């Protein structure tokens, strides 16, 4: 693979001087068009061998484009706020919004490759990490983020020459560190690992571009042209036709078909005095669990409350938060996205609230809106919600791998109970605002929601993050069940 980038390709001074102004003008033109049309965001990953001109290229690109709409990001150490969250969090934070360009010096590839080279992980783990990144990038491209991946290469000999040159010049000698020489000695270890990584992650949506790094003019011109071509192609591409999707499974409506929700026994109730005692007991347990040393050190909670309208999510959430230390939780009510959120992939608005260790984030409605309301109301294309199942599983897996406890609750009531509660709300002072005509109309779509919910459970109730179905016709029963679930899941993690 890398042999193709060891050919000694060069650009002479005259050609460079002639080509550069044209390239810069067309880069600027594409950039302004992107800014105006906001068709996508462009992420440029700058990776490769040390000494191959990565830093120089990042600087050049920023100076060729309008720096007001390009943001570069260093491959700095993780800050303590970043360390307390899954590794990809920092990239979600830094993701450019539509119309903008983000250049990542080093990237999500850096850590897995280093860890493999240091022997901390084996090939299987490396492959696993690479496949995760492929899915991540695929999701980004489908969500309107172009991903351009540049790999700057030098042969071992070229690298040595380059380091020696830099070291010899007092004005640049500081740029060659001990770590660089150390990496040079390990060149032959790195090479096959990098090849393996690139091979697995060069996908149609975001292939790697190898750039020979020895000649500065060649390398700069090539990188600039790739950036331009990538922007141009995305700007000029026709509206993508709706991708083929398999038809929605209607199995749950066929004779004998039953949805999971229909199997739920909604008749059970809990007596007041049992409720009071049990509520206190569970609250106490939850309070102790979330104050556990291990919870503060290695864990956090992301909880999702979903369910039919008026199922009592708000009340259940309050029973949970009452047991918590207010300084360590956050409840995020999911309403219409803000304009900053609309300029990003749909998961972005949830990633921004991922809690650090010791904290809990409770989502009142969540990313599951994609496969529920957006699906049923047709707010996104079938292909979009169909791919969301896998994307959501990936998101939750990242949380779990980091020690985050993922709790997903579906609060369920039947249509009669819902009607009763709507009427009740309409007549209660401060609850009046909670009920609108829209809510009544939504009831007509019940069968569609039932199919969507059934499929959601089927696809996203996983061994890492299973759904808990909560019968909620009886509010007391529901609240106890919610608290029990919180206690069980947190206990599994901290009382190992």
Residues that bind its own copies (CB under 8 A): 25, 28-29, 32, 36, 55, 58-59, 61-63, 66-74, 76, 79-81, 103, 105, 314, 317-318, 321-322, 324-333, 338-340, 364, 429-430, 433
CB of 127 to its own copies, least distance (A): 30
Nearer to its own copies (CB atom), residue 306 or residue 391: 306
CB of 52 to its own copies, least distance (A): 17
Name the burial class of residue 307, with classes exposed (0-12), middle (13-18) and buried (19+) by CB atoms within 10 angstroms of its CB: buried
From CA 485, how far away is CA 409, in angstroms rounded? Answer: 9
Nearer to its own copies (CB atom), residue 328 or residue 389: 328
From CA 307, how far away is CA 409, in angstroms rounded? Answer: 8
Nearer to its own copies (CB atom), residue 74 or residue 233: 74
Nearer to its own copies (CB atom), residue 111 or residue 331: 331
Nearer to its own copies (CB atom), residue 73 or residue 400: 73
Nearer to its own copies (CB atom), residue 15 or residue 322: 322
- The b/e string for 34-66 (b: 16+ C-beta within 10 A; e otherwise) is beeeeebbbbbbbbbbbbbbbbebbebbeebbe
From CA 27, how far away is CA 364, in angstroms rounded? Answer: 44
CB of 50 to its own copies, least distance (A): 15
Here the contacts of 73-78 (C-beta below 8 Å, separation 24 or greater) are 73/102, 73/103, 73/104, 73/105, 74/105, 74/106, 75/104, 75/105, 75/106, 75/107, 75/110
CB of 180 to its own copies, least distance (A): 17
Nearer to its own copies (CB atom), residue 36 or residue 463: 36
Token pair recorded at residue 347 = 């998961």
From CA 354, how far away is CA 136, in angstroms rounded? Answer: 17
Nearer to its own copies (CB atom), residue 32 or residue 422: 32
Helix (H) / strand (E) element for 307: namely strand 300-307
CB of 32 to its own copies, least distance (A): 6
CB of 347 to its own copies, least distance (A): 18
Nearer to its own copies (CB atom), residue 29 or residue 309: 29
CB of 345 to its own copies, least distance (A): 17
CB of 460 to its own copies, least distance (A): 23
From CA 64, how far away is CA 21, in angstroms rounded? Answer: 10
CB of 338 to its own copies, least distance (A): 5
Residue 57 CB partners (closer than 8 Å, separation 6+): 46, 150, 152, 219, 220, 223
* Token pair 């992420």: residue: 43
From CA 265, how far away is CA 273, in angstroms rounded? Answer: 22
Helices (H), 377-433: 382-401, 415-426
Provide φ and ψ at 41, rounded to 5°.
-110, 150
């Amino acid at each position: 693979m890398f042999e193709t980038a060891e050919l000694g390709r060069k650009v002479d001074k005259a050609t460079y001087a002639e080509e550069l102004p044209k390239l810069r003008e067309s880069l600027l033109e594409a950039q302004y068009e992107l800014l105006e049309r906001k068709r996508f965001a462009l992420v440029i990953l700058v990776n490769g061998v040390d000494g191959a001109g990565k830093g120089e290229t990042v600087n050049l690109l920023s100076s060729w484009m309008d720096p007001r709409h390009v943001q570069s990001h260093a491959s700095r150490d993780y800050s303590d706020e970043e360390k307390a969250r899954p590794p990809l969090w920092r990239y979600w934070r830094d993701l450019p919004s539509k119309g903008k360009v983000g250049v990542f010096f080093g990237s999500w590839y850096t850590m897995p490759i280093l860890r493999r080279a240091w022997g901390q992980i084996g090939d299987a783990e490396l492959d696993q990490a690479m496949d995760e990144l492929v899915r991540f990038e695929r999701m980004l491209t489908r969500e309107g983020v172009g991903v351009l991946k540049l790999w700057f290469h030098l042969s071992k000999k070229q690298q040595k020459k380059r380091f020696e040159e830099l070291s010899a010049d007092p004005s640049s000698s500081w740029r060659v560190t001990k770590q660089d020489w150390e990496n040079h000695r390990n060149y032959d270890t790195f090479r096959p690992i990098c090849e393996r990584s690139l091979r697995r992650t060069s996908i149609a949506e975001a292939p790697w571009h190898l750039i020979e790094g020895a000649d500065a003019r060649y390398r700069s011109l090539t990188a600039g042209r790739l950036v331009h071509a990538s922007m141009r192609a995305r700007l000029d591409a026709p509206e993508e036709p709706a991708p083929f999707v398999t038809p929605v499974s209607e199995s749950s409506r066929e004779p004998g078909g039953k949805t999971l929700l229909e199997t739920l026994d909604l008749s059970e109730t809990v007596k007041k005095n049992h409720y009071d005692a049990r509520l206190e007991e569970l609250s106490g347990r939850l309070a102790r669990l979330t104050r556990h040393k291990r919870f503060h050190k290695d864990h956090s909670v992301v909880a999702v409350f979903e369910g039919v309208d008026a199922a009592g999510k708000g009340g259940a959430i309050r029973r949970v938060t009452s047991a918590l230390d207010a300084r360590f939780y956050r409840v995020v009510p999911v309403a219409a996205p803000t304009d900053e959120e609309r300029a990003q992939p749909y998961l972005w608005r949830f990633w921004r609230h991922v809690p650090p260790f010791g904290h809990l984030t409770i989502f009142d409605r969540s990313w599951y809106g994609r496969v529920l309301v957006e699906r049923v109301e047709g707010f996104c294309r079938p292909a979009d919600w169909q791919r969301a199942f896998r994307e959501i599983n990936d998101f939750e897996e990242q949380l779990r791998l980091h020690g985050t406890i993922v709790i997903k609750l579906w609060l369920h009531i039947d249509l009669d109970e819902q009607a009763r509660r709507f009427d009740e709300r309409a007549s209660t002072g401060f609850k009046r605002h909670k009920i609108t005509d829209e809510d009544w109309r939504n009831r007509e779509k019940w069968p569609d929601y039932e199919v969507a919910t059934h499929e959601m459970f089927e696809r996203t109730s996983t061994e890492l993050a299973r759904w808990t179905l909560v019968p909620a016709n009886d509010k007391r029963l529901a609240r106890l069940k919610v608290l029990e679930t919180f206690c069980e899941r947190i206990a599994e993690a901290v009382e190992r």
